[in-house]
Amino acid sequence: MQEGSLLDAREEQTYRLLVGLSAARAAELAEVAELPQPEADEVLQRLQAKGLVTAQPADDPVFRPLPPDVAFGTTLLRRQESLEAARKTVSALSEEFRASVSRRDAHHLVEVIVGAATLRERLRDLQNSAREEILWFCRANPLAMQGADNTEEYGALSRGVRYRAIYERALIETPGELDSIAEGVSWGEEARVVPTLPVRIAIVDRSTAICPLVRDDEQSIGEPSAAIISRGQLLDALLALFESYWELATPVRLQAEQKHDDEGLDDSERLLLSLLVGGVPDKSIANQLGISRRTVQRRLDRLMALAGVDTRTGLAFQAAKRDWL
Question: What's the pLDDT tens digit per position in 165-220?
Answer: 999 988 888 887 888 888 888 889 999 988 889 999 999 999 999 998 877 666 56
Question: What is the enclosing helix (H) or strand (E) of 77?
Answer: helix 68-109
Query: What does the pLDDT read at residue 161?
Result: 94
pLDDT score for 259: 44
Any residues with CB less than 8 A from the CB of 163 and at least 6 apart, and which? 133, 134, 136, 153, 156, 157, 184, 188, 189, 190
The H or E element that residue 111 is part of is strand 110-114
> Please, what is the average pLDDT of the chain?
81
Instruction: Tell me the per-residue pLDDT of 241-277, one tens digit each, with 9 for 90 and over.
Output: 999 999 888 888 765 444 444 566 777 777 788 788 7
Residues 1-34: tens digit of each pLDDT: 444 567 788 888 888 888 888 888 888 888 888 8
Inter-residue long-range contacts of 309-313, CB under 8 Å, 24+ positions, other chains counted: 312/276
pLDDT of residue 107: 60
Q: Which band of pLDDT confidence, cut at 50, 70 and 90, is reported for residue 138?
A: very high
pLDDT at 308: 79
How much is the pLDDT for 143?
77
Does residue 122 register a pLDDT over 60? yes
pLDDT of residue 240: 94
pLDDT at 136: 94
The pLDDT, as a whole number, for residue 261 is 47
Residue 116, amino acid: A
